[in-house]
């Protein structure tokens, strides 16, 4: 049977256009694929075709909507009692779900207090590379904690023995607060004036740029613990991200 030349050409074009897919290896596990940040991380990391498989933690059964992405149903038990799910790399993002997105309501949302136990579970699953994206209110993270481990929980994460731990401290706008009385509202208004004094390097960065930084760091970061301060995240979004990230990671060139 003769081969249709048009079909052959299409097949060759597909093979040439997807070299990364052929080389895709390993499994990525995402905890916290909610909010603008979580969704951008999921879209960016699964769209790069670098991972052969991707799993997203969910608390309710949902239909898998992205090619190559499946849900892992987290049982209603303490994390230490979850069945293991094999994975090589993992991303934890702390971004609340947008309640008007039905799909996001079904995803499992990590809380900062879950971090030590979740990291232990991920390590038991075989994860060697862990990226944590932790937004902080702009201008409120103490200078001494921007480039190092900010809490005992983060120290506990590192102690699990991951090959690589990537901590990204992105700035965010202060969350909307409810005030019990006019005095609290006045105090909040007076404090809001200080926000105009926050340096531009600590201003929030678009979720797509944060996701791009995480993707790049997962690609090229050497073994060890790497903490990106809000200034690094902001600078990487302004121009040559490759150069900024390589300098942050201590890579030559």
Q: Is 132 a residue whose pLDDT tops 90?
A: yes
Average pLDDT over residues 160-176: 82
pLDDT score, position 196? 47
Which pTM was predicted?
A: 0.77
pLDDT score, position 186? 59
Q: Is pLDDT larger for residue 196 or for residue 68?
A: 68
CA distances from 8 to 18, 20, 218 (A): 16, 21, 35
Strand partners, 93: 133
């Amino acid at each position: 049977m003769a081969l249709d030349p048009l079909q052959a050409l299409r097949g060759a074009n597909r093979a040439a256009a997807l070299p990364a897919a052929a080389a895709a290896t390993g499994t990525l596990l995402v905890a916290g694929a909610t909010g603008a940040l979580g969704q951008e991380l999921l879209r960016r990391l699964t769209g790069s075709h670098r991972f052969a498989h991707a799993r997203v933690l969910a608390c309710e059964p949902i239909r898998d909507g992205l090619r190559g992405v499946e849900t892992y149903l987290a049982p209603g038990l303490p994390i230490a009692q979850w069945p293991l799910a094999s994975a090589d790399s993992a991303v934890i993002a702390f971004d609340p779900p947008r309640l008007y997105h039905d799909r996001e309501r079904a995803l499992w949302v990590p809380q900062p207090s879950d971090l030590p136990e979740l990291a232990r579970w991920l390590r038991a699953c075989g994860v060697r590379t862990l990226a944590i994206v932790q937004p902080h209110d702009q201008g409120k993270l103490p200078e001494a904690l921007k480039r190092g481990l900010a809490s005992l929980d983060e120290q506990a994460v590192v102690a699990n023995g991951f090959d690589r731990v990537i901590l990204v401290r992105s700035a965010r706008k202060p969350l909307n607060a409810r005030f019990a009385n006019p005095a609290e509202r006045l105090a909040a208004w007076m404090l809001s004036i200080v926000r105009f004094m926050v340096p531009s390097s600590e201003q929030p960065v678009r979720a797509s740029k944060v996701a791009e930084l995480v993707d790049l760091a997962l690609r090229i970061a050497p073994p060890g613990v790497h903490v990106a301060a809000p200034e690094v995240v902001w600078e990487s979004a302004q121009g040559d991200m490759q150069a900024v990230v390589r300098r942050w990671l201590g890579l030559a060139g």
